[in-house]
Structure 1
Amino acid sequence: MINRLRSLPLRWTSATPLFAVVVLLLTWGRDLPGALVALATVVLAGAVLAAVHHAEVIAHRVGEPFGSLVLAIAVTIIEVALIVTLMAEGGDKGATLARDTIFAAVMITCNGIVGLSLLVASLRHGTAVFNPEGTGAALATVATLATLSLVLPTFTTSAPGPEFSAVQLTFAALTSLILYGLFVTTQTVRHRDYFLPITRQGDVIKADAHAAVPSGRAALISLGLLGLALIGVVGLAKGVSPTIESGVEAAGLHHAVVGVIIALLVLLPETIAALRSARRDRVQTSLNLALGSAMASIGLTIPAVALASIWLDGPLVLGLGATHMVLLALTVVVGSLMVVPGRATPLQGGVHLVLFAAYLELAINP
């Protein structure tokens, strides 16, 4: 009986991703009635929790920072596929879809997830401690990618409007891939210690001695189930988006709120994983997840949409407006000041959360 109870979570986390994909296949491209929207929402929530479980299994097997990297890249690849699919459907909304999605991801990760992680860790343990070398390198890369891809198009003159010319877009795509590749090499090979959790004395925590390391077979199974769970999360989020859109329009809110809600749903696995790490005083892991996701969102999305723009009709608007550029600049400045000492109090977490709240408020009332 005890063995059955112990195996129940394993069965649940294994069955949910499969069930999520089945529900996705049955509902894809259809107008869903209220009952099916409710079912899809429940399954989506279950897929999020299953994704977090399998990501933690993989992270425990391969160690940090590889575990955070796996979840960030997996979520981003599926998110990129969703963006390109929606852009292929055409329409005026597709022109700004990549820009809005990338910026939403940056604000959610760099302010929402970072702020919550710092707040949870500092309230629970007094201060949140992390490695400033690794976190500073990640923030600098995110700031550079965001500026080159989302700010410069507003000021270039080769193409009308906040757009890149073909040559400029090619340059942005190549530099995004190069910077992301350099960061991953730095994070996982040359300076891996910079991205490992540290103790309050500054010592690196290289392994979790309190739990048995999963076998290679268990990690591979979790990797496959993680992929299915994330496909279910992103696909079902798209499936319920018409209902969300109708609700937003009925409430008289700006259409950009729809994209924010979808981005929040897609990034739920990383948010929950980051908060769990913060509760265990592994703030560096939380920051790896947050900043790594922001970086992957830019570094992989820009090359993908640049390639897709070859055969897709219509403009590709990447340049941010003045309001969003101010929010991005504030995020970089506040993040830089937070990184320098290598520790944070609830104040720093609160500042990031206020910036995130400002982004949400301006999405509702632009």
Structure 2
Amino acid sequence: MMKSDVTRRGFLQRSVAGAAALPLMGLAGRAFAQGFPSQQMSAIIPFSPGGGTDRSVRLVTPTWARLLGTDDFGLYHSPGAGSLIAQNQMRNAPHDAHTVLFTPAPHSAWLAQLEAQSFQLDQVAWIGSYFQDPNVLLVPKDSPYDTIEQFLDAAASADQPFTASVSSALSAAHAATVALRERAGVPLRVIPFDGGGPARNAVAGGHVDCCMAPYWSATNVLELTKALAIFWPQDPTEGLWDAPPADDVLPFSMPYLSEPYCAQISSQSAANHPDHYARLVETFEQTLRDPEFVAGADAQSLTPFVNFMSPAECSTWVEEYVALLAEFRDSMESDLEDM
């Protein structure tokens, strides 16, 4: 769907209603031996199937489950409200460390900033990041624009604002789009989706003028799009888009904007069961070095992006992210009202 369900007025009502309709977590699975995990682990994904979060969770959880000594995770997709529905689902689940939420860190940061009455960062305990995905600006393969300079020149003189799809409001892709719009001084209308797959399909099909997307997450439309710039010091891969760094081709500077994809549990779970929490952190880091995961990452071209940040590093990243993007907050909030 092209219309977001994230607005300042409707955010909370939809989130509460959506959470109430969700199934109870962690009740299925085989009989387990005493210890932790004592039942099947549950993974909450705040987006629809097919996007980068969904694909990466399906890659990382089988190895993680093996190291934990359990069956593979049960996956639960809970899209909408900028990931607040998923956060409410985790908050309402048993606080026994069997329910993990996978999310790009910027979503938690912006929820705490824009919807502080319903979410605070101290509700979650970070387990760690597993890969970091820098943003790229994509246009359809048959687009007349081959460079970001051509694209911005055309956007500046267009009769109507160019449209830019993003996986969801409040994402790093949304922030990157706003940063580009503000610093270039061109009109871009943000079109949020309930997941990265639909957002990238929109640009691949020519339904929007561009898409701001995390690099690896968007490789499923590699053959259908062109990348005009990457908002990172360099393209981390060879033979994919080979996108030029934005700061190398633009007459103004752009912040480096990436999306660390992270796992977290409720802080109450961590407080109730510190030993369970420590085991989750330890085995999650081990997962990223495990040959099974490495082989899968290689097969999906994820290896250049794999990056473990500790719980403390995740918290520091969120703090720095909010400080970096303070200048764009008003514009992002304005976007929410127009969505």
Same fold per TM (> 0.5)?
no
- Normalized per residue, the structure richer in strand is 2
TM-score normalized by the length of structure 2: 0.29
TM-score normalized by the length of structure 1: 0.27
Task: Tell me: higher relative CO, structure 1 or 2? Use CA pairs within 8 A at least 6 residues apart.
Answer: 1
